[in-house]
């Protein structure tokens, strides 16, 4: 059933929603001329109305059982905000220019995560579009947008959305988002969209009036769980799963990142995530090119990325927190919260080699054994990062690594990510060492809800023993402080860091051994107790060795294990990269010993 207001052309529009326990319903059209259109209830609980003299731009509500006006649960656009009228959209009217676009293979993606509202001064889709030349020059070939579904007010991370088919009105119109995607494709950039199917936001959540969308059988961090496996679950599963295909089809989005998949509960024979991925796979087959799904998972369970035909959930990739936590704890020394489980250089080496660090081993933080082995899954199945919206924004002060690490340690973190076998993801601004925080911000209209959000954030921070007072999430200043300082990319260390990221990305693209995701072509080991030696190769054509000194001390590394002659292609100690100028030799041999400066990164290629 195609829900929402589907414009048929020539002033005809079909309105459809699902409400099995409702007896009667109407479409209340309020512009350009007010009228009430009676809807017909079908045997399966759907209500349908065919209306004439309805043009794109028409605004409407639904009325159920003679009650109040309510926005369409499947609204395509809310021009005046969450609580106001929905608007008819003609998806056929936009003239796409990307007919030759074939997408970017997942294993080749270099992703850039951004929040539309804080990424540009404008805080809009058009503002992102204006920065595409910059991103392309950096080497980015995929952008990932935090959720853009309609949320309350005009300031939010996006995870408080309640309309999974809509785009946020303060960011722009549906056509503005299409123009952004079109422009991305013209510049060779894929678009990944963050979608939220584990909960709906607490404000403007009117679906409970339409049907049994929630059940008390399970509970999530946000309250009662969505109903994916009890009575009436089938249309609810479709309501969310079809919105995934909706954005792939009508907005030409290339991939979806699915938020906190571990917070979806389903005991049915076909798990909800299998159902979503089945629909995406069918759409991919119909279009003739792959569209990807990427999971955010707290399970450390390879069933998430195991193919559908092998009984898995069928995601193409997943975020891998173990890599982030290993790197973060090692470089910062933090040992609170979930960082309790990390901090050893062996953790980082294991993540390079295998993926999951906790693969059935005991977790002191969880007080139980945790995870299973990901050794047999190649690199494109995992997205890694040194920072992201969660790992920055869920710190009490939203502080980035720039506030914690030295310039040299920041360079090392970037190299660890971009020289790994996994899909790298940058968080907006990190490429020029942005120091603006990314704070948690909302703009709710209910004072009680605002206070609940404040208290909830305080409770989250308690596990990390952070001192002081968190910025007020409701204050506009909190949002404004989170905007990027674009001028810093052209100044001092910001400019230097930007060039460092460009170099690493260029090396990753130029050397097949570096973007080869086969973990059988990588060896990570710890030497001298402080250095990770990362060997990367591709068949018999290319051999690379990367040395990562993960300490603030000079370390001597023997090169005795690497036969032949090796040519240096990158040295972070070079003054050009802000190093101290104590350069490594341009050529090293098996008999040599190398002195690595603190937090130094060096990359060598074997001469043929």
> Active site residue: 144, 296, 301, 322, which one?
296
Q: Is 10 exposed, middle or buried, given 0-12, 13-18 or 19+ CB atoms closer than 10 A?
A: exposed
DSSP symbols for 242-302: HHHHHHHHHS---EEEETTGGG----SSS-HHHHHHHHHHHHHHHHTS--EEEE--SS--G
Q: Which residues pair with 40 in a beta bridge?
A: 48
Residues 370/341, Cβ–Cβ less than 8 Å: no
Mind spelling out the 3-state secondary structure of 585-605? CCEEECCCEEEECCCCEEEEE
Q: Which of 385, 303, 297 is nearest to 110 (CA)?
A: 385
| Contact of 166 with 149, CB cutoff 8 Å | yes
Rounded Cα gap, residues 192 and 293, in angstroms: 9
**482 backbone dihedrals φ, ψ, rounded to 5°:** -90, -5
259 is catalytic: yes
H helices present in 476-542, as ranges: 476-481, 492-510, 512-515
DSSP string, 410-464: HHHHHHHHHTSSSEEEEETTGGGT--S--------S-HHHHHHHHHHHHHHHGGG
At 587, list the tokens. Answer: 């050529």
Give the pair of three-digit tokens for residue 370: 């945790």
Neighbouring CB atoms inside 10 A of 560's CB total 11
CA distance 161 to 163: 6
Say if residues 359 and 300 touch (Cβ distance below 8 Å): yes
The answer to whether the Cα torsion of 344, 381, 511, 417 is positive or negative is negative
Q: What angle do CA 255, 256, 257 make, to 5 degrees?
A: 130
- Spot the catalytic one: 160, 182, 259, 341: 259
Half-sphere exposure in the Cβ direction for 188 (13 Å, CA): 12
Q: Is the dihedral of CA 506, 510, 515, 521 positive or negative?
A: negative
User: Which residues fall within 8 angstroms of residue 127, CB to CB, at 6 or more apart?
Assistant: 116, 119, 120, 121
The catalytic residue positions are: 259, 296
């Amino acid at each position: 059933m195609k829900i929402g207001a589907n414009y048929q052309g020539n002033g005809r529009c079909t309105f459809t929603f699902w409400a099995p326990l409702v007896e009667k319903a109407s479409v209340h059209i309020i512009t350009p001329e007010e009228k009430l259109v009676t809807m017909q209830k079908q045997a399966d609980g759907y209500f349908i109305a065919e209306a004439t003299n309805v043009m794109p731009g028409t605004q409407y509500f639904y009325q159920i059982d003679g009650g109040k006006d309510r926005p369409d649960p499947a609204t395509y656009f809310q021009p005046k905000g969450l609580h106001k009228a929905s608007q008819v959209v003609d998806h056929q009217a936009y003239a796409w220019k990307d007919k030759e676009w074939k997408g970017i293979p997942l294993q080749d993606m270099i992703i850039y995560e951004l929040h539309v509202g804080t990424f540009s001064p404008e805080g809009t889709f058009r503002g992102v579009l204006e920065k595409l030349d910059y991103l392309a020059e950096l080497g980015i070939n995929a952008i990932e947008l935090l959720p853009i579904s309609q949320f309350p007010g005009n300031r939010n991370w996006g995870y408080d959305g309640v309309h999974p088919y809509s785009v946020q009105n303060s960011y722009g119109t549906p056509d503005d988002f299409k123009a952004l995607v079109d422009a991305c494709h013209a510049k060779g950039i894929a678009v990944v969209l963050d979608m939220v199917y584990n909960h709906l936001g607490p404000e403007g959540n009117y679906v409970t009036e339409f049907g049994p969308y929630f059940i008390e059988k399970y509970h999530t961090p946000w309250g009662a769980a969505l109903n994916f496996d009890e009575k009436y679950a089938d249309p609810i599963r479709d309501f969310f799963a079809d919105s995934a295909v909706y954005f792939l089809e009508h907005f030409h989005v290339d991939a979806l990142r699915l938020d906190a998949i571990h917070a979806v509960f389903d005991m049915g024979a076909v798990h909800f995530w299998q159902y979503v991925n089945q629909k995406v796979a069918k759409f991919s087959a119909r279009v003739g090119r792959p569209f990807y799904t990427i999971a955010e998972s707290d399970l450390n369970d390879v069933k998430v990325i195991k193919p559908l035909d092998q009984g898995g959930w069928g995601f193409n990739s997943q975020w891998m927190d173990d890599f982030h936590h290993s790197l973060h704890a090692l470089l910062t020394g933090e040992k609170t919260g979930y960082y309790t489980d990390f901090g050893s250089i062996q953790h980082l080496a294991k993540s390079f080699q295998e993926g999951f660090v906790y693969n059935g081993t005991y977790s002191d933080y969880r007080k139980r054994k945790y995870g299973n082995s990901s050794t047999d899954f190649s690199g494109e199945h995992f997205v890694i990062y040194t920072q992201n919206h969660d790992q920055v924004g869920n710190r009490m002060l939203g502080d980035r690594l720039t506030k914690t690490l030295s310039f040299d340690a920041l360079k090392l973190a970037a190299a660890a990510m971009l020289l790994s076998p996994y899909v790298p993801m940058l968080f907006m601004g990190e490429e020029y060492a942005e120091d603006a925080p990314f704070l948690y911000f909302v703009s709710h209209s209910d004072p009680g809800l605002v206070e609940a959000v404040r208290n909830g954030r305080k409770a989250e921070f308690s596990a990390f023993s952070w001192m002081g007072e968190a910025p007020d999430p409701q204050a506009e200043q909190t949002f404004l402080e989170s905007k990027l300082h674009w001028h810093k990319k052209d100044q001092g260390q910001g400019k230097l860091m930007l060039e460092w990221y460009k170099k690493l990305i260029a090396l990753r693209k130029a050397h097949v051994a570096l973007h080869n995701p086969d973990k059988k072509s990588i060896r990570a080991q710890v030497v001298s107790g402080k250095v990770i030696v990362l060997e990367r190769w591709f068949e018999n054509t290319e051999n690379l060795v990367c040395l990562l000194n993960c300490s603030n001390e000079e370390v001597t590394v023997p090169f005795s294990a690497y036969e032949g002659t090796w040519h240096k292609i990158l040295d972070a100690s070079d003054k050009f990269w802000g190093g101290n100028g104590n350069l490594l030799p341009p050529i090293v041999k098996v008999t040599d010993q190398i002195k690595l400066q603190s937090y130094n990164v060096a990359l060598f290629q074997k001469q043929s």
